[in-house]
A = this chain, B = another copy of it.
Amino acid sequence: MGLVGNVCVVGLGLIGGSVLRAAAGAGHSVWGTTASAADASAAAADGFDVGTDAAAALRRAAERDALVVLAVPLPSVGDVLRLVTEHAPGCRLTDVVSVKEPVAEAVRRFAPSARYVGGHPMAGTSASGWAAGSAGLFADAAWVVAAEDGGDPSVLREVTALALDCGAHVVPATAAEHDAAVARISHLPHVLAAVLAAVGADGGPLALALAAGSFGDGTRVAGSRVELVRAMCEGNRSALLDAVDDALGRLGAARGSLASTGSLGKTLEAGHAGRLALTEQRAAARTPLRIDLTAPDAMAALRALGSRGGRITALDGAVALAETT
């Protein structure tokens, strides 16, 4: 990329299927493989070069020096990585799995010679499978790219290029930073939505008849498929436990204050400030910044960008064109 490259996508569900379409649309030479014969047929019928033989797809990746994109659910990652080691051991490798530390650990264990840089596009719908995907799924989405000390800057550059080609902007962060952040802003929301929906429904038909906007908004994601939400949340167990503990602490403090003094002031003020921080960060003016990906401190500079809420929006050769708030 930079030049048009070769991309091999393993797993053609919602996310993998969308990466395949978007990368093809951006001019890359793409092929894919999936364990689902139905998804393979559907993708082939849509004119894509796909099959169900992962080993063959990976051998081709090795031959053509392709970027391999791992797009299977977390429980299948180990099996695919064993195939990577067997058929494309030194390949450039990224992934689009929703949790980063467990994937990085699996790569260290099962595919230690792969040149791996993790990724995670923050996009999705409540549907799944090839049919649910689209080339536009990543438009304006954040795509996290792992900026770890010792990471290969040239692979990071290629993963960044792929994400940008898919219409996303790139947010650099370590795997640990990513997992802690998504626990707070993606996985905890699902847990709290489930708690709210259950407590509301416990009020019976009368309560549900009176439900308006606040309950509807607060429970929307409780309508998502349970098995998908479980896989996402349970795969990030350690970071999610920290976020749930923070929520328990704040909710317990609200309970105590309401019971003892009758006030919810501190709870509601903190929540209002948090929501304001979100809207202000989204509306903030952004300052352009250039980060040379070949510089010795590139990874640290990228992490600093991400931790300030910044993003990469384009590439100029080996230089990342970024913006900070």
Contact = CB atoms under 8 A, between A and B. Distances in A.
Interface stretch (A24-32, A56-64, A77-85, A202-210): A202-210
B271 A258 contact: no
- Counted per complex, copies of this chain come to 2
Contacts of A207: 180-182, 184-185
A289 to B, nearest CB: 14
A190 B309 contact: no
Interface stretch (A43-51, A68-76, A247-255): A247-255
A219 interface: yes
A205 B267 contact: no
By size class, the interface of chain A is 35 or more
Interface string A219-234: 1111110100110011
Interface residue SS majority, chain A: helix
Nearest to A204: B307
A199 interface: yes
A272 interface: yes
Given A195-B251, A230-B268, 8 more contacts: A181-B203, A185-B200, A185-B210, A185-B214, A198-B270, A220-B275, A222-B268, A222-B271
14 contacts: A171-B210, A182-B207, A182-B210, A184-B202, A189-B217, A191-B264, A194-B274, A195-B247, A195-B267, A199-B274, A208-B281, A219-B275, A219-B278, A222-B271
For the complex of A and B, 10 pairs with smallest distance between CB atoms = A194-B271, A205-B309, A197-B274, A201-B274, A189-B214, A222-B275, A181-B207, A222-B271, A198-B270, A184-B203
Interface of A: 122-123, 141-142, 144, 171, 173, 177-178, 180-182, 184-186, 188-224, 226, 229-230, 233-234, 237, 240-241, 243-248, 250-252, 254-255, 258-259, 262-265, 267-279, 281, 306-311, 325
